[in-house]
Amino acid sequence: MLENNEPMVIEDVNLADPGDNEVHVKWGATGVCHSDVSIWQGKLPLPPPAILGHEGAGVVVSAGKNDYGLKTGDHVIGSFVPTCGECFYCKNDQAFVCEKALEIGMGRFPFSRQDGSPLLCGPGGLATFAEETVVHEAALVKIPEDFSLEQAALVGCGVTTGVGSVLFAAEVKAGSTCVVIGCGGVGQAVIQGCRVAGAEQIIAVDLNEAKRKASTTFGATHTVNPNDEDLGEFVKGLTDGRGADYAFEVVGVPVLQRQAYDITRPGGSVIWVGIPSYLDECSVPSALLPLENKRIIGTIYGSANVRTDFVKFINFAKEGKLDLEGMVSQRIKLEDVNDAFTAMLEGDVIRSVITYD
């Protein structure tokens, strides 16, 4: 990315050798995530020039001295929130808000252009839109070598964010009614998480017909086009007038965050998964929030512990509990990344996956 909102370009760059606590990784595959689009649009603060991409899995080429014992040939998933393992949050089972994550992810510039000028890397310092990278060991998790790197890449962001928001942030109970607003890649993962949790009714909400249809293959029991019918009345009709037990907003739009709040029953939980612009705000009725005992839960990375939960989700996939293969809309090459951005903005795909030779 050389400029915001301008086509990305492919060029040869220089890559430094790994030092202590660093690992040279060759990516096998990377998903094209909406957060990459948001950075490209300037909605999330990462100034160009930069190499984007943060949803990747690959193989270790070489490693410096490191605490996790990573070595040549190991298969790894990139974590866009590096976990230092030493700060207050990491020691208190909240590594998803590790206080050193930004410092670790953005603290080194392994890439430079041919003129010697440095390039920033995307979230976590992963730069999965490069064929290879050098990244801090805290941003990598070793995984079994018998699992597809293409599917493992999705665990690096969309799957963990979506499924984790259900199992770890909301702690959805079996038999509940869940509403999922926004059925892109993360939204479909939320739907799968609700299914895994044993939700009885899963209502998928999206303007795009293809995404609504796809949601039924991942576990949605009902679908709603909010332009055609009133979502609140629809949910009340399924719940004896109460509202949803859990409502997930997975778009990152304040008006939809408020809608998720409004359709949730008293005593229910509202989970904000999508990330709006840093300048956005959302208001809710301040008296009704305590009087109706609703909970608003913000979640980053599905409130997951990537050191253990990446492998947990891989095992879910192996056991048939999660369908990762079905989430791949198209397989593309790196030179097609601009088309993948367009397809995502137009709502035509769940996930485009870039595969490297």
pLDDT digit string, tens, across residues 152-186: 999 999 999 999 999 999 999 999 999 999 999 99
| Of the candidate ranges 26-30, 42-46, 108-112, 312-316, the one whose mean pLDDT is the lowest | 42-46
| Ranges in the chain annotated CATH 3.90.180.10 | 14-146+324-355
CA 69, CA 168: separation in Å to the nearest integer? 28
Tokens 């160009």 locate to 48
Q: What angle do CA 275, 279, 285 make, to 5 degrees?
A: 75
Q: Give the H or E element holding residue 195.
A: helix 185-197
Non-local (6+) Cβ contacts of 268 within 8 A are 243, 244, 245, 246, 247, 294, 295
Superfamily of domain 162-300: NAD(P)-binding Rossmann-like Domain (3.40.50.720)
pLDDT digit string, tens, across residues 246-293: 999 999 999 999 999 999 999 999 999 999 888 899 999 999 999 999
State mean pLDDT over 313-334: 96
Reported CATH class of domain 14-146+324-355? alpha beta
pLDDT digit string, tens, across residues 93-139: 999 999 999 999 988 889 999 999 999 998 999 999 999 999 999 99
| Ranges in the chain annotated CATH 3.40.50.720 | 162-300
Q: Which two tokens stand for residue 238?
A: 């399924």
Strands 111-112 and 22-32 come out as: unpaired
CA 265, CA 349: separation in Å to the nearest integer? 32
Non-local (6+) Cβ contacts of 1 within 8 A are 8, 39, 40, 48, 49, 50, 51, 52
For residue 337, which of 23, 14, 15, 39 has the smallest C-alpha distance? 39
pLDDT digit string, tens, across residues 2-25: 888 999 999 999 999 999 999 999
CA 222, CA 12: separation in Å to the nearest integer? 48
Whether the model clears a pTM of 0.85, i.e. scores above it, the answer is: yes
Give percent helix, percent strand, percent coil of the chain, each to the nearest 5: 35, 25, 45
Tokens 């990344």 locate to 337
Task: Report which of residues 47 and 193 the model is more confident about.
Answer: 193
Tokens 């996930």 locate to 351
Residue 17 buriedness (CB in 10 A; 0-12 / 13-18 / 19+): exposed
